[in-house]
Amino acid sequence: MLQVFVLASCSSFSSTEKVPEEATNNKALTQGGSKNNAAQTFTLRELAVATKNFRPECMLGEGGFGRVYKGCLEKTGQIVAVKQLDRNGLQGNREFLVEVLMLSLLHHQNLVNLIGYCADGEQRLLVYEYMHLGSLEDHLLDLPPGRAPLGWFTRMKIALHAAKGVEYLHDKANPPVIYRDLKSSNILLDKDFNAKLSDFGLAKLGPVGDKSYVSTRVMGTYGYCAPEYQRTGQLTVKSDVYSFGVVFLELITGRRVIDTTRKRDEQNLVTWAEPIFKEPTRFSELADPLLPDVIPKKSFNQAVAVAAMCLQQDASVRPSISDVVTALSYLWVGPDTTVLASHIASPSYFPQLIRSPAYHQNTIADTEQEKQVVDDLEWVFNDLQRNLTFAAITATANDN
């Protein structure tokens, strides 16, 4: 039986409501270059009309947070996604407030746009821009019959966009924001497979001053959380880098991070991949067998090396997310890209890129461009392998 909703005006937050610390430093966040565009407030009636009274056929998905419906705003005709938070679910009022305040202050092409919200009695609803293709999880893991698997360069494009979203949070927001819930189901895709990060209920303001971490209760999704964060509750931007490494490994392999249907030694994706990382001749074992196209060998090897660096157990050995963006800019060379990346950093983990002639050429013939990319990837791959070897030797020495 269709649930009947009380259609009442959306009330404002109670004056006694405590705003979480993560979202109180509004002035500092806006210094990161984002526009402080306040989210709209909607009545429950407006959102009920938009979603045809939350009919099952309008539902896009359901998770621990609640249900998401496709809707059309009556006043503007805009197609939106309406997330109705489960009053008894995992995402409580605290996370609702964090999400509203964070996404009202942070704006980037690789972050999902929050249009507005409704807080009416015990009802909590969030209204986002509609992402036509749903989540990365929908197109990568457990594909339904008839859905074509993602091609290699599409996967690299999605990884690059996700990394750029995290880079904005880490390097542009002031103080930095730690996403804390990076996973394939939180990466949404538009009709052209452009990716945006969503679901900021667990986001946390990063360390400031001379602090290197923030202490907090362990939150997130099992398998994606960095090991040091799970052990100590100490959260850093490198915790997000680890989570990105997990998602990137999912993109490479087409496997879930935790899959109890597989053989015992393959159920944990990272644990299964770690010994393969140390033997470049085995890298091909990581390739998703469903990949529809021929994978460029050097591009694939470089991708595996980047994933391995992000998944280092020692957080200090992991690259910064800006270095990851630089490396991925060279991995995705599609029909609408050039060798010269739009993002040029001064990477500490990828020094060979700085010496690449591609940094100093705006136009290169297609054949020359392809050859140059191959050379760049070879340099980067060799440098990453040296870092991996050094990290392995250091870890062994420490163990002894």
The whole-angstrom separation of Cα 380 and Cα 306 is 9
Q: Which superfamily, per CATH, for 21-129?
A: Phosphorylase Kinase; domain 1 (3.30.200.20)
Mean pLDDT of 19-48: 61
Q: Which residue has the higher pLDDT, 335 or 37?
A: 37
CATH class of the domain whose range is 136-399? mainly alpha
Cis ω before 175 (30° cut-off from 0): yes
Cα–Cα nearest to 176, from 207, 201, 145, 140: 207
pLDDT digits (tens, 9 = 90+) for 61-84: 887 678 899 999 999 999 999 999
Which pair of structure tokens corresponds to residue 74? 């009556």
Give whole-number Cα distances, 290 to 15, 135, 224, 341, 355, in Å.
Answer: 54, 18, 23, 29, 36
The whole-angstrom separation of Cα 115 and Cα 104 is 9
Which pair of structure tokens corresponds to residue 349? 């983990």
Looking at residue 91, its pLDDT comes to 53
Count CB atoms within 10 A of the CB of residue 290. Answer: 11
Cα angle value 33/184/227 (rounded, 5°): 85
pLDDT digits (tens, 9 = 90+) for 89-104: 545 677 788 888 888 8
SS3 (DSSP) at 197: strand
Which pair of structure tokens corresponds to residue 324? 């990851």
The whole-angstrom separation of Cα 199 and Cα 34 is 18
Looking at residue 101, its pLDDT comes to 82
Annotated ligand binding at 18? The verdict is no
Query: Does the pLDDT of residue 259 top 60, yes or no?
Result: yes
Which residue type does 339 have?
Answer: V
Which pair of structure tokens corresponds to residue 157? 């494009």
Which residue type does 224 have?
Answer: Y
Radius of gyration of the chain from Cα atoms? 22
Mean pLDDT of 3-25: 38
Q: With bands split at pLDDT 50, 70 and 90, how would you rate the model's confidence at 255?
A: very high
Check 138, 142, 171, 181 and give the catalytic one: 181
pLDDT digits (tens, 9 = 90+) for 348-363: 333 333 222 232 333 3
Query: Does the pLDDT of residue 302 top 90, yes or no?
Result: yes
The pTM assigned to this predicted structure is 0.76
pLDDT digits (tens, 9 = 90+) for 121-179: 888 999 999 999 999 999 999 888 888 999 999 999 999 999 999 999 999 988 889 99
SS3 (DSSP) at 229: helix
Which residue type does 273 have?
Answer: A
Q: With bands split at pLDDT 50, 70 and 90, how would you rate the model's confidence at 57?
A: very high
Q: Mean pLDDT of all residues in the chain?
A: 77
Task: Identify whether 376 is a catalytic site residue.
Answer: no
Looking at residue 391, its pLDDT comes to 46
Domain ranges of the chain: 21-129, 136-399
